[in-house]
Amino acid sequence: MKTESEQQLSASLEDYLEAIFNLAGESEGARSKDIAEALSVARSSVTGALQALREKGLANYRPYGCITLTEPGRTLAAEVVRKHNILKSFFVNVLGVDADVAQQAACKAEHALGPEIIGRLLSFIKYVTESHRNGRDVAEEFRQFHKSRSGAKARKAQP
């Protein structure tokens, strides 16, 4: 038997959860308008999502009231945020991607990757960080490798 909070969430509801988590962290509870802005959706869409999250026992919400997450909601949201941060860190610190590209990619990929991959990715980031301390910086070495390759490619395409 599953409790209502254990069921699989859609990518969309995960986004709402994440937004509430981030906004509620800054103050006491999130505001509907700010959620709408953060996700670039209409305010009425937020109302619908909040009703869905309440039904799943993930958000405390009554019409015109302030919006907070329940304990299970906070747990789930924290997991989404954790995925997001691990992905972004990997994109930026290992692959050397621009922060804003990494941010957008993390937003999408966080819904697609399971704990197995995320766990390995985190481990990999730590491995790379450690390699830096050991004076054998994998990330830096890769950046050089990537630069020389893409440079060579560009020269080849346009001599």
Partner DNA sequence: TGACAGAGTTAGGGGTCCCTAACTATCCTA
Partner DNA sequence: TAGGATAGTTAGGGACCCCTAACTCTGTCA
Q: Could you list the residues that contact DNA (CB under 7 A)? A: 10-13, 15, 31-33, 39-52, 61, 63-64
State residue 61 phi and psi, 5-degree precision.
-155, 125
Cβ proximity to DNA: between 50 and 128 the closer is 50
43 is in the binding site of which of a second copy, DNA, none (Cβ under 5 to 8 A by kind)?
Answer: DNA
Q: Which of 23, 39, 78, 109 binds a second copy (CB under 8 A)?
A: 109
Looking at the Cβ atoms of 33 and 149, the one nearer to a second copy is 149
Q: Are 47 and 4 in contact (CB under 8 A)?
A: no
Determine which helix (DSSP H) or strand (DSSP E) holds 47, and give its type and residue range.
helix 43-55
Q: Tokens 């937004």 map to which residue?
A: 19
What does the alpha-carbon distance between residue 99 and residue 114 come to, in Å, rounded to a whole number? 23
Helices then strands (H, E): number in the chain? Answer: 7, 2
> Closer to a second copy at the Cβ: 15 or 34?
15
Pick one of 3, 64, 116, 135: the residue that binds a second copy (CB under 8 A). 116
Adjacent-strand bridge partners of 81: none
Q: Which residues bind a second copy (CB under 8 A)?
A: 91, 94-98, 101-102, 104-105, 108-109, 111-114, 116-117, 120-121, 123-124, 126-127, 130, 138, 141-142, 145-146, 149-150
